Amino acid sequence: MRQSLKQAGSFANVAGTALILAMAGIIAATAGAEAQKKKKKKMFEKPVCDKVEVISHASPGGGTDTTARMMMIRTRRYLKKSGYLKGDMVVVYKRGGMARRAHEYFARRKADGCTIMAITQSHMNVLATKSPITIGDMVGVARAMDDPVFFLNHVDSPNKTIEAVVASSKKKTLSWAGAGANSTDHIAIDEFTRAAGIKYKFVSYGSAGPMTSGQLAKAHDLSALNVSEAADQIEAGKFRAVAVLSEKRLKDYPNVPTAIEKGWNVLASTTRGYVVKKGTPEKARKHLTDSLVKAMRHKVFAGYLMASGLNPKEAVAGHGPWQKNLGDMHKAAVKAVARMKAAK
């Protein structure tokens, strides 16, 4: 009996020791995994940037500004988590000359991955006229969206259709508002009115925010605003969209006809994305691309796109497709600006 108890005790001791060793092994393995996990999170031992500046040529409240701020919500988290960013991401407004002041500031910044510039076709139009930088000074990071242009007026306007707008314009020159001379809006208005055989008076507001206020105050007859910029006022019943300059009607605006279906072959949209300066270390550029694309595919930014009637899967793109877009946009801008000069 004593022998049996002794043997049982020995077995218990062995089992207990084995259990302790097993638990120690599990704890050690878990600790190792956690350490490895933490190690993987910190891609950069030292921060690349104390802060990351996002240059905006437009004023607060417009499509470019809103898109940048929505992009930054998740991007700053990813950059901090990786060790790339120590402080914060901030928007730096450089308004004037459509995008020329933004280009001047961009030209003075270091190619260190700490400065990103928000880009639209308006930048390409400035590059095609007068700018301190060239298309070769920009390296694409990521594309955020392709935002079609609406032609719209105040809901109180008697011109309830695009046909009515054209008919009215043949009797009296109407005022059309855009972000600035040679902007995407201006070129869209110019191409449409030439196609329709009507004259127009252009009113420059600098950005979508003041333009929206002007339209609400009935300070001009029509506006060229992007879908994302006009959605709230259309939903509120303040603005009426009479045409969209896309190939097909938009899913969320099935009653708004395209200019093409009405016989005017005009397309226009604002493509928004981000670039860094040529010479930025490839590791930094790639990490920025990965972080921005991940952030803009997150439900927060995707929800913003969908609320604007845009498809997140089609809108967001990384370095390769965006770099090609930049080249195509620049070529189109050179041709468009040349056409406008020749028409004067």
Residues 6+ apart with CB under 8 A from 103: 123, 126, 127, 131, 132, 133
- The closest alpha carbon to 272, from 142, 127, 135, belongs to 142
* pLDDT tens digits along 285-296: 999 999 999 999
Per-residue model confidence (pLDDT) at position 11: 43
Give me the torsion for CA of 238, 272, 297, 46, rounded to 10°. Answer: -130
Per-residue model confidence (pLDDT) at position 20: 47
Which residues of the chain register pLDDT less than 70? 1-41, 344
Provide the token pair at 162.
Answer: 């695009």
Contact 94, 104 (CB under 8 A): yes
How big is the chain, counted in residues? 344
Per-residue model confidence (pLDDT) at position 2: 45
Provide the token pair at 202.
Answer: 């252009």
- Output helix, strand, coil percentages for the chain, rounded to the nearest 5: 50, 20, 30
Per-residue model confidence (pLDDT) at position 22: 47
Contact 152, 222 (CB under 8 A): yes
CA atoms within 13 A on the CB side of 336: 28
Residues 6+ apart with CB under 8 A from 334: 128
Per-residue model confidence (pLDDT) at position 32: 55
Q: DSSP of 91-113, one letter per residue?
A: EEE--STTTHHHHHHHHHS-SSS
Per-residue model confidence (pLDDT) at position 281: 97
Per-residue model confidence (pLDDT) at position 344: 66
* pLDDT tens digits along 197-256: 999 999 998 788 899 999 999 999 999 999 888 989 999 999 999 999 998 998 889 999
Domains defined for the chain, CATH in brackets: 52-146+270-343 (3.40.190.150), 148-244 (3.40.190.10)
Per-residue model confidence (pLDDT) at position 8: 44
